[in-house]
Amino acid sequence: MKTAALILIFFVQTSFAQNPVLSSQSSSSAASNVFSSVRIRLFKDLEQFPVVYGSKMKSISDNMVILEGQKLTFQNKILSTKNFVVKKPNHKYDLIAVVDFNTYVAGVVSKEMPLSWPLEALKAQAVIARSYALTKIQERQNKIFHLDNDQMDQVFAFTNSEKAKKAVVLTDQVILKDSKNRILKAFYHSDCGGQTVPASQIWKGAYDAGTATDPWCQQRKSNEWTYELSKDDFYQRLRLSERPEDKLEVSEDFKKRIQSFKVANAFFPVQKLREIFGFSEIRNSPLTFEENQNLVVFKGKGYGHGAGLCQWGTLAQVKIGRSYLQVLEHYYPNANITNSAMKLSQVMMKDLVFN
């Protein structure tokens, strides 16, 4: 598969035709801006080779073909004009789209934040989606794809929304950087419940761009949640070798947000518990938990991992007149907001410095 990845990278770099800039951009600006492409995995582990009607197919290796054409779709999902199908060692198929970078950012904005929200909120979303994507492109520069189109990275779909495109154009080249001038992997989530948490407490080695107290989410009652289940079910799903005699204890917290638990000699970060029991059950870092004779009960406020920008808090802030830059400063107090002069297709990714 390493050979297949190198073939794809070479093919994209040598045959990439510049896509037109977003239609809502002015002609004078369009003349001076060029955009690079990004490879997005739209489908993974397909059991059969994807048949895309209307496409022109060209084989570029034993395990890879290119599909090109206009208005292509597969399983009711819009494809790019240039796509790759890769046969993997498990004999399943991935379908990867080559997408103009700004088109990708607009697609993320349209799926990660409601388009009915104010433009200023969408502009904040555009900046963090751009920053996050650039770090993933660097991490996977020698891989077959750069980003997944789901929650594993950022949710993406092609969009015709002029509002999403405008949010991208109005924040063109604005990115977040850390204190060492490296592009920031900007995390974000739905609802912090009143307090964001350090990224390093969720993902080992992640850079902490600061935390924020969020009175807007703290005041809402609709984001409160409770999850309870029987003790037998709880410990069985933890898959411990045997039922522990000790009770569950808090191992680490941050400003009353529980970040990890321990029982016997085992440690469970909250993010791991969310994976085990469901992200819609343990919705974020719990505020309290209780273990009695029959039940284990978690209670909290908010939704999502809790690091970085809070989307519902962003909505509340722009409604009272704050700009997208003020929102970003609030949620990433240790980051720098940079209006970069770089043109993405005119610099090599290896020349950029990432965290």
pLDDT for 221 equals: 84
Q: How far apart are CA 196 and CA 333, in angstroms?
A: 12
Show the domain range for 228: 221-301
Domain count, the chain: 2
Question: Domain check: are 96 and 241 in the same one?
Answer: no
pLDDT in tens, 147-158: 999 989 999 999
Question: Domain check: are 230 and 180 in the same one?
Answer: no
pLDDT in tens, 162-197: 999 999 999 998 999 999 999 999 999 999 999 999
Exposure string for 253-265, b = 16+ CB within 10 A, e = fewer: beeebbbbbebee
Tokens for 205, please give them. 């080695």
- Reading phi first (left if > 0) and then psi (alpha if -120 to 50, else beta), residue 230 is in beta
Mean pLDDT, rounded, for 81-107: 96
Question: Domain check: are 126 and 249 in the same one?
Answer: no
Does residue 216 fall inside a structural domain?
no
Alpha helices in the chain (DSSP H): 2-15, 27-32, 101-112, 119-139, 162-170, 215-219, 231-238, 270-277, 311-319, 324-331
Question: Domain check: are 66 and 158 in the same one?
Answer: yes
pLDDT in tens, 206-229: 999 999 999 999 888 889 999 999
pLDDT for 28 equals: 32
Does residue 202 fall inside a structural domain?
no
The percentage of residues in the chain with a pLDDT greater than 90, rounded to a whole number, is 70
How sure is the predictor about 4, in pLDDT bands with cuts at 50, 70 and 90?
Answer: low
**Span of 85-99, 140-154, 253-267 with lowest mean pLDDT:** 253-267
Question: Domain check: are 150 and 56 in the same one?
Answer: yes
Q: How far apart are CA 123 and CA 181, in angstroms?
A: 22
Q: How far apart are CA 103 and CA 159, in angstroms?
A: 8
Tokens for 69, please give them. 């054409």
Question: Domain check: are 114 and 63 in the same one?
Answer: yes
pLDDT of residue 100 exceeding 50 = yes
Question: Domain check: are 41 and 159 in the same one?
Answer: yes
Question: Domain check: are 58 and 121 in the same one?
Answer: yes
Angle at 154 between CA 152 and CA 158, to 5 degrees: 130
Mean pLDDT, the chain, rounded, equals 86
Tokens for 222, please give them. 């609709």
Does residue 162 fall inside a structural domain?
yes
Question: Domain check: are 52 and 153 in the same one?
Answer: yes
- DSSP annotation of 153 reads S
Question: Domain check: are 92 and 232 in the same one?
Answer: no
Does residue 146 fall inside a structural domain?
yes
Does residue 324 fall inside a structural domain?
no
Mean pLDDT, rounded, for 101-128: 97
In angstroms, how far is CA 295 from the centroid of its own chain?
34
Question: Domain check: are 115 and 61 in the same one?
Answer: yes
Q: How far apart are CA 168 and CA 170, in angstroms?
A: 6
Mean pLDDT, rounded, for 304-326: 96
Question: Domain check: are 71 and 146 in the same one?
Answer: yes
